[in-house]
Amino acid sequence: MKQFNNTEIAFRSKSNQDLNRAYWLFKIIGYPSIVKIGKGFTNFALKSHLPINGIIRSTIFKQFCGGETINECEKVTSELFSFGIGTILDYSVEGKTSTEDFEKTTNEIIATILKAKGNPAIPFAVFKVTGIATFSILEKYNNLNNDLSENDKLEFQGILSRVDRICKAAYDNDVPVFIDAEETWIQDTIDRLCVSMMNKYNKEKAIVFNTLQMYRHDRIEFLQNAIQDARQNGYHYGIKLVRGAYMEKERERAIQLGYPSPIQATKKNTDSDYNKALEIIIDNIAVLALCAGTHNEESSSYLSELIKKNGLEKVDKRIYFAQLLGMSDHISYNLSNDDYNVAKYVPYGPISEVLPYLLRRADENTSVAGQTGRELSLLTIEKQRRKG
Report if residue 322 sits inside a domain.
yes
Assign 246 to helix, strand or coil.
Answer: coil
Report if residue 87 sits inside a domain.
yes
Looking at the structure, tell me whether residues 163 and 48 fall in a common domain. Answer: no
Q: What does the alpha-carbon distance between residue 73 and residue 54 come to, in Å, rounded to a whole number?
A: 17
For residue range 142-160, list pLDDT tens digits in order.
Answer: 987 778 999 999 999 999 9
Residue 130, domain extent: 68-348
Burial class (CB within 10 angstroms; exposed 0-12, middle 13-18, buried 19+) of 235: buried
Report if residue 26 sits inside a domain.
yes
Residues with Cβ within 8 Å of 182's Cβ and at least 6 positions away in sequence, in order, are 128, 129, 130, 190, 246
Q: Contact, 137 vs 111, CB < 8 A? A: no
Report if residue 355 sits inside a domain.
no
Report if residue 357 sits inside a domain.
no
Looking at the structure, tell me whether residues 249 and 174 fall in a common domain. Answer: yes
Looking at the structure, tell me whether residues 209 and 220 fall in a common domain. Answer: yes
Report if residue 354 sits inside a domain.
no
Looking at the structure, tell me whether residues 61 and 79 fall in a common domain. Answer: no
Looking at the structure, tell me whether residues 109 and 192 fall in a common domain. Answer: yes
Looking at the structure, tell me whether residues 12 and 124 fall in a common domain. Answer: no
Looking at the structure, tell me whether residues 271 and 290 fall in a common domain. Answer: yes
More confident residue, 30 or 63: 63
Report if residue 124 sits inside a domain.
yes
Looking at the structure, tell me whether residues 16 and 155 fall in a common domain. Answer: no
pLDDT band at 57 (very low <50, low <70, confident <90, very high): confident
Looking at the structure, tell me whether residues 198 and 329 fall in a common domain. Answer: yes
Give me the pLDDT at residue 360, please. 66
Number of separate domains in the chain: 2
Report if residue 164 sits inside a domain.
yes
Q: What is the domain-level CATH number for residue 167?
A: 3.20.20.220
Kind and range of the H or E run holding 292? strand 288-293
For residue range 87-145, list pLDDT tens digits in order.
Answer: 999 998 877 889 999 999 999 999 999 999 999 999 999 999 999 999 999 999 998 77
Strands 124-127 and 342-348: unpaired
Q: Per DSSP, what are the bridge partners of residue 289?
A: 238
Give me the pLDDT at residue 278, please. 98
Residues with Cβ within 8 Å of 327's Cβ and at least 6 positions away in sequence, in order, are 64, 295, 361, 365, 371, 375
